[in-house]
Structure 1
């Protein structure tokens, strides 16, 4: 049997012999015979190559065969999106109801799937403020937690003389307790009514219903929680970071340079490495006008004083956390307008992992609307009040 190269040489010889003239019938017949033989030889070579790949070791086989990446199972996401658009659940989201933790009332609601839950959590974090500066724990269930508290900054070690009993360097560890609950935050719409979206909009496949619902409802929950993280009374709501903690009084609406320095040193040095300031934006605007003893503005680079850059605000070397839940610093008032210290050691927020979403397609059916309500459970409590100082205006 002739090889492919031999057949190609013979085909070229037929053409060269014609020297540019038209081929005779015999030459055409000879060329076409060679062409048929060439195609048969090429097919045979291709089959032999495929057979060799089949018989090769596994490594060679894997290199020769394309293996597609496994397709991601998005059945649950698509089923939940359908539920948001219609309010009608199907069998694919049954696990979202069955998987709810003990103590959660469903009332027609379903827990959001993991991907959407992550978006909601990210939006709660993005709301910023005190919640981003304190300790946050997440639990799978919502039963009350007993949280230990401890302040050991006044106790020290001692030097013991050789062959003698050591004297007391301080008291034994004394732990306190705080109870952290899980208050249910509900995100409705205007006038405490559910969020309403028209059916026409929901029927548009290009409309991101998950994006709208998570953005609007999680923002409303975040606003309610932010107010409680700062000013919560502890009665049917979280204890705020400013509730029942030591306060430092400031004489005027705008603190002086000396007062700010005194505030820093009112917090034990053990806490100051991780300390931050927190107050609202209006108070920040007052502090930006301050000057030091040499009449230089504190509004300098982050090394020297305050840097008002969006992500790098610093006052006397410590980061600034803006939280609009704080009251304005006002002269002759008793407003608690800010705090300074190690807020992560001083305050803890507890969030329950599961978030429940209620879709109601019935109440506003005649108006062509579907209603949405979201539930999220959380609580907060001071855990070490020596770690920070609350800043308050002097009412006198």
Structure 2
């Protein structure tokens, strides 16, 4: 088993706090406690106010979303969340946080396990007053979109979920996704892209900052048999491409470590003014048990998925992929190793898309190299004085009855 998998042990089911039932917050303030919901349709915590709310030093578990709300001004910190099996036909584990029309959101120093990640659909805050979205120093384990049947057994299919997804959060300054640690295991997770910007953008003066994250693993539900898996590490410019008002753009991606995420490490699939530099993107092309990952594809790509239509091409401009360190292993049908570090069919000078000065990984990428990246990450945290995940009095709870 790879070292990153062991840094947070499984929960001891003999220990844990007492939980209260689902909480509905109707007034601003600071809330601390342990809440749970065994109904997939009811969040463990639901926020029904636009007044500032802080949830901190808490433990949540549920068969649906753990925190949900509309039009919220919310801070979540130092909180642990466990996604439980929904035990409902056609359902998948709930999100740690799911927000519609966010006014302001800060999610920092939390730990989540077995949830389907963090999701924001639309932003309605006042950017001029400093309202924005930030996801900082969170520890994420096994982002899980696997569908179950009525008996709670996994069906072999999944919903496309992400560790962090912004959906149509357009032209918002001040956004940041930084110092998060995300680790997924095959057979215990089903994540599409770990970080996905869908029709989302910053501004020319204040691009979305996606930096200094550690991302390990992105796998199909059944990695050895599912041959059409499209998920990976970080995906920019996802969604509609033929309108500058909608196409994703103005994101700055740097200092990240993306490791063993199958289909791609970091990718620009559309949009404009994305800058990607100084990232470490590596894969041995092997699953943790040493078998070949048939979905291992490419370290980084720049490809306009919408094709060559004039309208789509008009929004795929001024993207830059430079000075990244990449080593992405693939295998032929006969088991021969080759490297597919970069694929850049849409890097054309005429459109202002630049791909240059990227470096190949200097040695063969083995599982040992991947393990060394986790050591690199831990040293990076120490040197920067960064603490990832919860700290202090947040006691680990039993994840499931």
TM-score grouping bracket, smaller chain normalisation: under 0.3
Which has the larger strand fraction? 2
Give the TM-score taking structure 2 as reference length.
0.21
Higher helix share: 1
Q: Which has the larger radius of gyration?
A: 1
Q: Which has the higher contact order (CA 8 A, sep 6+)?
A: 1
